[in-house]
Each structure stands twice: as C-alpha cells, then as structure tokens.
Copies of this chain bind each other. A is one copy, B any other.
Amino acid sequence: MKTFWTAVTGRFLVVGLLVTGSVFSQDSTSYTDTKEAKMKKSIGAKTIVFPTPVFVVGSYDKSGRPDAMVVAWGGICCSKPPCVAISIREATYTYGNIMARKAFTISIPSEKYIQEADYFGIVSGRTEDKFAATRLTPVKSDLVDAPYVKEFPFIIECSVIKIVPLGLHTLFVGEIKDVKADEAVLGKDGTPDIEKIQPMIFDPANRAYYGIGKYLGDAFSEGKKINK
C-alpha cells in the first residue's frame, strides 16, 4: 500500500514539478524520496563501477605456452576459503586455457607497466606470444598450473573451484593458494604496501587507467566518529 501510494504521488509530483516547478518542495519524506530520485540522471544499464582492477591473468595453453590477458571484471569473492573471481568471455584464448587446466594466476602490474598491461588486453594469445612481445618473464607457479609475471610486484596463485556462466562472460572462482610479493613492496611488518605496489585502477566509463591516490583514513576507525 505504501509502495502504491509512493508511486502514485510520485507521478503526480513529476507532473507537478513539470508544470509548476518546485511547488512540492515542502513535501513529506515519501514525496522527497521520489523527487530526489528524479534528480539523479539515468545513464542506462551499463557496466560501470569505481574502481575496477587491472588484473593480468596468466594461464598455459594446450602446448604449455604461457599467456596472459587483462581482466577488469573481478575481485575478491570469499574470505574462507580465500577466493577471487574473474570474469572472462568464452571467445578469449584464456577461457580455453583455464577451462582445460583449472588454474590461473593474477599478476598486478605497477603503473610503470601500463603499456605492457594494456598490451595484454589488446591482442590475443591465440595469435601472439604476449610474453615475448612485452619482454616480460613468465614464471611457473609452484602451486598451480599457471604462469605469473615476474616483473609485476604482487601475484596470486589460484585453483578454479567454481565456474559460473552468466552470459557474455563466465565467472571463474579461484581459490587463492598463495599470494607472493616482491620484498621491495612489503612494509616493515611484512604486509604488502599499496603505495609501493602502485597498482593501476581501470575506469570503465572512459576506458582509462588511473593511479592510487592519497591515503584517506583507516577502515573500521573513521566510522567511529559518527554520532560523537
């Protein structure tokens, strides 16, 4: 009933606004909700969130040749067991590689490797040896049947535990078997330091890369200032 009422008054409100401007500006909360909703501009059902990552996903093909592609559709998806999800189109060479070997790595490039990382997303491993072209070094994981990128400072080794077809993309859930990082990007306590790793951010709205910005505050801490 409330929903119906909001919908009905919402329609009148829009008409009202169109005809008489802000005549309803002193309305109650339910009116305000609908009015404010109209203030945000709809830009359609697009695949845009901020941030998205720049994951270089490593795999071996049938012949054992290392390949890698860039994936921006992905992220951590479970804490126990530790898992990361990546979504890949069936048309890619990587898709077949991961389906066959049930393993992949994620290598996170520092921003200085922007050209190499982007190259991994432009050409197909079906026709190109991307490691040779970028002169980057594939390293065979000692835990899963996939290679990672030696020059990138932070890598994750994954074993596929779930495959979820969604449409154009298939979501692969990889259980994280290990995380490895260059000593140079670890803080004093041995924890990876985002400011030293200098990962890139992908902006899907304008298809551009950004760096990491300034430190803003600590999680599970900033919120405690609310109501104080």
Number of copies: 2
Contact between chains at A73 and B75 (CB < 8 Å): yes
What separation, in Å, do the CA atoms of A43 and B183 have in the docked complex?
10
Could you list 25 examples of A-B contacts with CB < 8 Å? A33-B137, A34-B140, A36-B137, A39-B182, A40-B182, A43-B190, A43-B192, A45-B175, A49-B84, A49-B106, A50-B154, A50-B212, A51-B53, A53-B75, A77-B171, A79-B169, A83-B167, A114-B216, A118-B217, A120-B223, A166-B173, A191-B205, A201-B212, A207-B219, A211-B216
Secondary structure type dominating chain A contacts: mixed
What separation, in Å, do the CA atoms of A169 and B83 have in the docked complex?
10
What separation, in Å, do the CA atoms of A52 and B156 have in the docked complex?
15
Contact between chains at A192 and B48 (CB < 8 Å): yes
Given that A180-B41, A181-B40 are contacting pairs, would A193 and B214 also be in contact in the complex, using a CB cutoff of 8 Å? Answer: no
On chain B, the residues within 8 Å of A73 by CB distance are: 75-79
Tell me if A164 counts as interface (CB < 8 A to partner B): yes
Q: Please encode chain A, from 192 to 228, with 1 for each CB lying within 8 Å of some chain B CB and 0 for all others.
A: 1110010111111111111111111111111111110
Contact between chains at B223 and A118 (CB < 8 Å): yes
Contact between chains at B83 and A50 (CB < 8 Å): no
Contact between chains at A194 and B183 (CB < 8 Å): no
Tell me if A62 counts as interface (CB < 8 A to partner B): no
Contact between chains at B78 and A168 (CB < 8 Å): yes
Contact between chains at A2 and B217 (CB < 8 Å): no
Determine which of B45, B52, B134 lies in contact with A176 in the assembled complex, contact meaning CB atoms within 8 Å. B45
Contact between chains at B36 and A150 (CB < 8 Å): yes
